[in-house]
Amino acid sequence: MFAVMKTGGKQYKVQSGDMLRVEKLAADAGETVQFNEILMLGGDKTVVGAPMVDGAAVQAEVVDQIKGEKVINFVKRRRKHGSQRTKGHRQKLTLVRIGDILASGGDKSGVKAAIGAGSVAGVAVAAVAAKAAPKKAAAPKKAAPKKAETAAPAAEVAGVEPTNLLKEARGGQADDLKKISGVGPKLEGTLHEIGVFHFDQIAAWGPAEIAYMDDRLSFKGRIERGQVEVLRGKSTEVADAIPDGSLDFIYIDGDHSYEGVKADLEIAIQKCKQDAIIALDDYYTGGWWKDGVVRATSEFLGQYADQLTILECVEKQMIIKRHAPVAVAA
């Protein structure tokens, strides 16, 4: 029996007894860890996940924490008077021995999950371990000065507060606002606190709402200077205002009809850069639109098969990456 598992952004085909080098895990030598992202199981019966196989897992013993082969990068800058130098790098890896491959029951095994040392979860594990370690006695804190009896009145915010702010994400699932250029985890958290969870909320703001959010988020005029621009109207009406090959990310959540989705995708391939991401909402056939989204997307993927790759299809969201055209076997 074999399994195809995912860890550290890579996929591995493994069997019991295999020795494997993976991206560094937050685990010590001798520990048993469990990989829970299983894409496929093979053997007497092949099971393919969608995208993961429910309940499947691969258990492994951590043999050692090691480093990969040294990679030398030569840098030469011809306009800097012949400046040249080399940079070396050795990737931190974890050597594991594959043990049991579980077709089911992995979510109830109780074995520690294999977490990358550089991931958010891995950092959390390290933080918990550090918290459990004995601490030195803290020096007594100085008494903080008392706050003034009367606080200064809050500065008035310009513009008008958007009326489409929410208390929580619709359906409990917020859009990944970090896909917007310039929005990181911290700013995304601030937007959630204000009540912004979805792309369509931002697209619906008018000039007064933009001024309010600009002031509230201390953008200091970035929206007005054109770093953020809202085009109001149908995609077919505003497409000419967007330069070809200029967009890093496109999220399509339109009228869901076959014709509408097809038109949106044709605009997307024209306006996005190489290595851009195109995401579609409601990629399934159970809604009122029947097969409109799925049929238009399937035709689009076939038409541009030489420059599109499906990154993920999960929770009714289709994520596609565009790349330079490559030869496709007939």
CA distance 169 to 207: 24
Q: Are 55 and 109 in contact (CB under 8 A)?
A: no
Mean pLDDT of the chain: 81
Does the pLDDT at position 49 exceed 70?
Answer: yes
pLDDT of residue 228: 59
pLDDT average, residue stretch 304-314: 90
Around 52, how many Cα atoms within 13 Å sit in the side-chain half-sphere?
Answer: 18
For residue range 134-171, list pLDDT tens digits in order. 555 555 666 655 554 454 455 566 678 889 899 999 88
Residues whose CB falls within 8 Å of the CB of residue 121, separated by 6 or more in sequence, listed in order = 26, 113, 115
For residue range 236-263, list pLDDT tens digits in order. 888 888 888 888 889 998 888 999 999 9
CA distance 279 to 317: 7
Domains and CATH numbers, the chain: 2-76+87-124 (no CATH), 170-322 (3.40.50)
CA distance 171 to 252: 18
Q: How many CB atoms lie within 10 A of CB 198?
A: 19
Q: How many CB atoms lie within 10 A of CB 101?
A: 23
Percentage of the chain exceeding pLDDT 90? 31
Q: Are 319 and 277 in contact (CB under 8 A)?
A: yes
pLDDT of residue 44: 86
For residue range 177-192, list pLDDT tens digits in order. 877 766 778 888 888 9
pTM reported for the whole predicted model: 0.38
